[in-house]
Structure 1
C-alpha cells in the first residue's frame, strides 16, 4: 500500500493503544474519544490490509503483523515530529552570512544579547566572500551586507550606519595624521575590493579623485596590497574593528559618507525570528551612534 494512504493520526492512535493497553486509556492519553481512536486504528488496518490488534478481553494485544509494524510506526512518528521541529523550531543555530567584518565591534555584543534572550539558541556568523554573503548559496538564512542588494527576490533592512576609515601603510606620510579628509586621497593609488567592498570611484569629486585604482578581490588581498605599500584604502569602521594586519593602520575620514549596513533575506521566505534579530542589532548600533 503506498505511503500516501497512511495518516499520522492513524499511527498515533495505533501506538497509543499499544502503549496504554486499551482503547479507553488511549483515548484519555490523546484527549479524544474512544470512538475516534477506534476509527483511526481501523483506518490504518484498512490502509495496510492487515489486522494489527487483537480485540476482545480487557487488554488489547498485538497481532503478528502488529508486532512487525509497531517499530516502523514509532520511527515514522519520530520522523514526523522531527520534521515539525525543523520547520518550526526557533532555537538551535541561527546562521548569519557575512562577506567581511560581520557586524564589526558589535558582533560579539549582538551574539551575547541573542543568547541572553534565547537560551539554547546560538547566533553564528558564517563567512562567504560572495555578493550576497552566503544567502544565495544556502549556507545562511540571512546575511549582513554593506551594499543595497538591488534584487527583487531579496528583502533588506538597514541595521545601522558606520563611519569610514582610511587604511594606510604604517610608513605612509598620511599615517602620521590622526584623521583624514576625502581630499587627502587626491593623486593616491586606492585599493578597491571589486567583489564585496563599499568603496567606489564616485565617492570622490573630480577635485578629490585618486590618481589611480588597484582592483583586488576580498579583504585579505586588500589588506595585503596596503601593507605592501602598493595602495591605500577606504573602508567601513567595522574593518578596523575586526581586522588587524601588521603594517596597516586605520584613521578616521571626517567628511566621508557613512556606510549603511543591511540585513538581507529571501523575500518569500523570511525566518520566524527575523524581526527580533533586526531589533537586537539596531538597538546595539543605536547605543554607539
Structure 2
C-alpha cells in the first residue's frame, strides 16, 4: 500500500489517541482515558507513525517524550480535531461557548469576577470553564480555546501572556514544626518528604539544589 493511500485511511481516532498520549506522556494512562487497552493504543500510534512516515514519540522503559516532528504534528492534530468538532456543531454555531481550560483552581479569587464581567460584556457567548489535568489545560488536544495556566509552558504554537502572580503555598500537618511559621522558604521543606504534582503543578525538583532533593517526591 502506498504512503498516500495509507494516510487516506487514517481516522479521527488516530489523532485523538496521539493527542491523549501527548498529554499524558504515558501510553497506559492515555489508553485508560480513551477506554482502550494499552496494546490497542500502541497499535493505533504505530499505525499513525507508519502512515506519516515519521516517529512521533520517543519511548523508553521510564519515560515518553515527543519528537520534534511529534511536537509539530500535535499542533496540527489538535487543530484538525477542533475543526471536526466545530463542523458537527452546526445547530449551535451561534451559541458556541468560549472554552476556557484550567488545570486547578481556575483563576483563584478572580474566577467569580471574571465570569460576571464576561456575562456583562459578551452576553451572547457563554464562557465555559473546563478542567484538564495537563500542562496546556486542553489546548494541545483542541479541547479548549484558551487556558489559564500556571508556570511556564513550552509548547509549539502556544502564545502566553502573564496575567498576575500568586504566592506559592505549602500544606503541612497541623503538628509539624513548620505549621506556626508565617512563611516558609523552599530550603525549610528540604528535610521533609514533599509531594509534587508533575502533571499540572508548578513546583518542581529544579527549585531545590541537587544535594537537597532526596526527600522530594
TM-score after normalising by structure 2: 0.52
Q: Structure 1 unaligned runs (5+)? A: 1-81, 215-289
Q: 1:182 to 1:213 in 2, by over 3 A?
A: closer
Residue 145 of structure 1 is matched in structure 2 by 149
Deviation at 1:107, TM superposition (A): 0.9
Residue 128 of structure 2 is matched in structure 1 by 124
1:124 & 1:157 partners in 2: Cα distance? 20
Q: 1:150 to 1:107 in 2, by over 3 A?
A: same
Q: Does residue 111 in structure 1 map to residue 134 in structure 2? A: no
1:126 & 1:154 partners in 2: Cα distance? 18
Structure of higher RCO (CA pairs closer than 8 Å, 6+ residues apart): 1
Deviation at 1:133, TM superposition (A): 0.9
Q: 1:127 to 1:210 in 2, by over 3 A?
A: same
Deviation at 1:84, TM superposition (A): 11
Alignment counterpart, residue 200 of structure 1, candidates 198, 201, 204 = 204
Say whether the 8 Å CA contact 2:97–2:126 is kept in structure 1: yes
Structure with bigger strand share is 1
2:138 & 2:195 partners in 1: Cα distance? 24
1:197 & 1:103 partners in 2: Cα distance? 15
Deviation at 1:197, TM superposition (A): 0.9
Q: Which has the larger radius of gyration?
A: 1
Residue 212 of structure 1 is matched in structure 2 by 215
Q: State the Cα deviation string for residues 93-127 of structure 1 (Å, max 9, x = none).
A: 22101111111111111111111212243222101
**1:187 aligned counterpart, secondary structure:** coil
Q: Does residue 174 in structure 1 map to residue 178 in structure 2? A: yes
Q: Does residue 96 in structure 1 map to residue 100 in structure 2? A: yes
Residue 3 of structure 2 is matched in structure 1 by none
Residue 188 of structure 2 is matched in structure 1 by 184
Residue 55 of structure 2 is matched in structure 1 by none
2:110 & 2:190 partners in 1: Cα distance? 32
1:107 & 1:133 partners in 2: Cα distance? 16
Say whether the 8 Å CA contact 2:190–2:215 is kept in structure 1: no
Deviation at 1:191, TM superposition (A): 0.8
1:156 & 1:165 partners in 2: Cα distance? 23
Q: Structure 2 unaligned runs (5+)? A: 1-88
Root mean square deviation, CA, Å: 2.5
Say whether the 8 Å CA contact 1:99–1:128 is kept in structure 2: yes
Q: State the Cα deviation string for residues 186-215 of structure 1 (Å, max 9, x = none).
A: 3111111111110112213467x354122x
